[in-house]
C-alpha cells in the first residue's frame, strides 16, 4: 500500500506539471529545458514526495494501525489489491455468518433434545430462549419469546424465587407441585450464565420428578402393604401355636380346628411369597421363552382347573373362540399365568348363579382375549389403581374373597413383557371386563 502511495504521488506530480505545461504553453517556449527541469520539475517532484512521506509516517501509519486492531486484519492487508480485499472480507463475513447459524442451530437442537425444561431470561426478566420440554411442563402458550417471565410462569413460589435471584444472584433450587392441567412434581434450579453475550442472563432448569415421586410412593406403599399382609397371617399362626403349646388339655376337635387355621395361614403366606417372586421376575424383565402353541387349547386347560369352583357357585361359563386352529408365538407359561389370574378373579368376584364369558379372537396383527363377568364391579375412582400391588377396592366388601392382592399387578407386568396392553371396563354392581391384546410375532 505504501508503494502505491509513492507511485501515486509521483504520477500526480507529473500530471500537475503536464497540466501546467498545457495551460502555459506559450510561456514555457521562452525558457530552456534545463531550466524547466531543475527549477520547476525537480522541485515539484521532491516537494510532492516529501509531503507524501510526512503524510504517510505521521498521519497514515497511526490510522492504519487502528484499522488493523479494530477490524483484526492481517498486517499485509493493505498490500493486496483493493477488490481482492473486499472479496476476501465478504467471504470471511459469509463464512462467519454460516458458522454462527450452524452453532445456533446446534445449540437449539441440543436444547430441544434435553429432557429437562430450559428457560433463559435476561436481567430485565424477558424470555430470550426456551426448549419444548418446558412448554409441556408449564403448559406455555405458543409464542413466549419477548414476554416477561411472570406472564408465562404462573406458579407463585417459582416466580418469587426468580425475583429474589435476580436481585441477589445467589444459587437457588427447590421443588414445586403443579395441580393443573395435571399433577406434577418439578424441581427447579436457577443458574447465572457467563460469557461475552450472556452476562446477567438467567437459566431456569426444571426437572420433572413426577415419576420418581410416584415410584417412591409406590415403594413406600409396597413396604407398608407387604408388612401388613405378612403380619396378619403370622399373627394368626403365632397366636394359635402359642395356644396349642400352652394348653396341655386342649380338646382334640378344637386342636384340629386351630391347626386348620394355622395351615390356611401358612398356605396364604406361601401364596404371597410365590406371587412376590413371580412379580419380581416379571419386573426385572426375565427372558421370555417364545414357543408356538394353540391359545384355544391353553384356555380350555385353564378352564378345566376351575370346573369344581364354577360348579360350587353354580356359575355359567361360556367362551367364544374365533379360530381354534390358529397358533400364536408367545411365552406359554406367562400367558397361562395371565389367564389363571383373570379367570380366578372373575370366579371369585362373581356371585352364585353368575355368568362369565371368555372370548378369543384375532384382529389384524393382534391376538385378543377378554374375560367378562357379572360380578360386583369396580368403582370408577379405583379403576386407575387396580393394577397396583396389594391394592384392594374395599376390604369390607372383599374380606370373604381373600387373595394376595398381587394377581392383577402380575398380569399387567406379564402383558407388558409381551409388548401388549390390558384394558378394564367395569361398572359397579354390574360386572367387569378385562381385555388383553398381544402383537402377533
User: What are the residue boundaries of the structural domains of the chain, listed by start?
Assistant: 2-79, 114-208, 215-283, 291-439
Of 423 and 264, the one with more pLDDT: 423
Write out the H or E segment, with its range, that includes residue 61: helix 61-71
Beta carbons of 187 and 175 less than 8 angstroms apart: yes
CA dist., res. 395 & res. 403, Å (int): 11
pLDDT above 90 coverage of the chain, percent: 8
Global pTM?
0.51
Tell me what pLDDT residue 101 has. Answer: 83
Segment 114-121 shows an average pLDDT of 84
CA dist., res. 153 & res. 144, Å (int): 10
Tell me what pLDDT residue 400 has. Answer: 46
Please list the residues that pair with 173 across neighbouring strands. Answer: 189
Each residue's pLDDT tens digit, 247-273: 777 788 888 888 888 888 888 788 778
Mean residue pLDDT across the chain: 77
CA dist., res. 229 & res. 231, Å (int): 6
- Spatial neighbors of 322 by CB under 8 A, at least 6 apart, are 360, 361, 362
Of 123 and 47, the one with more pLDDT: 123
Q: What secondary structure letter does DSSP report for 276?
A: H
Query: Which CATH number does 114-208 carry?
Result: 3.30.450.20
The listed CATH number (3.30.565.10, 3.10.310.30, 3.40.50.300, 3.40.50.2300) that belongs to domain 291-439: 3.30.565.10
CA dist., res. 390 & res. 406, Å (int): 5
**Hey, what CATH topology would domain 215-283 get?**
Helix Hairpins (1.10.287)
Amino acid at each position: 500500500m505504501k508503494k502505491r502511495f509513492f507511485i501515486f504521488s509521483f504520477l500526480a506530480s507529473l500530471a500537475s506539471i503536464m497540466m501546467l505545461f498545457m495551460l502555459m504553453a506559450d510561456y514555457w517556449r521562452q525558457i530552456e529545458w534545463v531550466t524547466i527541469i531543475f527549477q520547476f520539475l525537480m522541485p515539484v517532484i521532491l516537494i510532492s514526495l516529501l509531503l507524501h512521506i510526512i503524510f504517510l509516517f505521521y498521519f497514515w501509519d497511526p490510522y492504519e494501525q487502528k484499522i488493523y486492531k479494530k477490524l483484526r486484519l492481517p498486517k499485509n492487508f493493505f498490500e493486496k489489491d483493493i477488490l481482492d480485499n473486499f472479496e476476501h472480507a465478504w467471504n470471511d463475513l459469509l463464512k462467519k455468518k454460516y458458522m454462527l447459524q450452524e452453532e445456533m442451530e446446534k445449540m437449539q437442537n441440543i436444547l430441544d433434545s434435553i429432557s429437562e425444561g430450559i428457560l433463559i431470561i435476561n436481567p430485565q426478566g424477558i424470555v430470550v430462549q426456551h426448549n419444548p420440554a418446558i412448554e409441556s411442563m408449564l403448559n406455555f402458550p405458543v409464542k413466549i419469546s419477548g414476554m416477561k417471565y411472570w406472564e408465562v410462569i404462573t406458579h407463585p413460589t417459582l416466580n418469587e424465587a426468580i425475583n429474589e435471584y435476580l436481585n441477589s444472584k445467589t444459587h437457588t433450587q427447590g421443588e414445586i407441585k403443579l395441580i393443573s392441567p395435571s399433577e406434577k412434581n418439578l424441581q427447579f434450579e436457577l443458574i447465572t450464565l457467563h460469557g461475552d453475550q450472556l452476562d446477567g442472563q438467567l437459566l431456569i432448569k426444571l426437572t420433572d420428578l413426577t415419576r420418581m415421586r410416584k415410584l417412591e410412593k409406590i415403594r413406600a406403599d409396597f413396604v407398608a402393604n407387604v408388612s401388613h399382609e405378612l403380619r396378619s397371617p403370622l399373627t394368626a399362626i403365632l397366636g394359635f401355636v402359642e395356644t396349642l403349646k400352652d394348653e396341655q388339655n386342649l380338646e382334640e376337635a378344637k386342636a384340629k380346628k386351630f391347626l386348620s387355621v394355622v395351615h390356611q395361614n401358612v398356605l396364604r403366606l406361601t401364596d404371597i411369597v410365590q406371587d412376590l417372586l413371580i412379580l419380581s421376575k416379571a419386573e426385572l424383565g426375565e427372558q421370555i421363552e417364545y414357543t408356538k402353541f394353540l391359545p384355544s387349547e391353553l384356555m380350555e386347560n385353564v378352564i378345566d382347573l376351575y370346573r369344581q369352583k364354577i360348579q360350587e357357585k353354580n356359575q355359567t361359563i361360556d367362551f367364544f373362540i374365533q379360530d381354534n386352529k390358529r397358533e400364536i408365538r408367545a411365552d406359554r407359561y406367562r400367558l397361562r399365568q395371565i389367564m389363571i389370574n383373570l379367570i380366578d378373579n372373575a370366579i371369585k368376584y362373581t356371585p352364585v348363579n353368575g355368568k362369565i364369558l371368555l372370548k378369543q379372537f384375532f384382529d389384524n396383527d393382534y391376538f385378543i382375549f377378554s374375560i367378562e363377568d357379572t360380578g360386583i364391579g369396580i368403582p370408577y375412582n379405583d379403576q386407575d389403581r387396580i393394577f397396583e400391588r396389594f391394592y384392594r377396592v374395599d376390604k369390607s366388601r372383599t374380606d370373604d374373597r381373600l387373595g394376595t392382592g398381587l394377581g392383577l399387578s402380575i398380569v399387567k407386568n406379564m402383558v407388558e413383557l409381551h409388548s401388549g396392553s390390558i384394558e378394564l371396563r367395569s361398572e359397579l354392581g354390574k360386572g367387569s371386563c378385562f381385555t388383553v391384546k398381544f402383537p402377533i410375532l
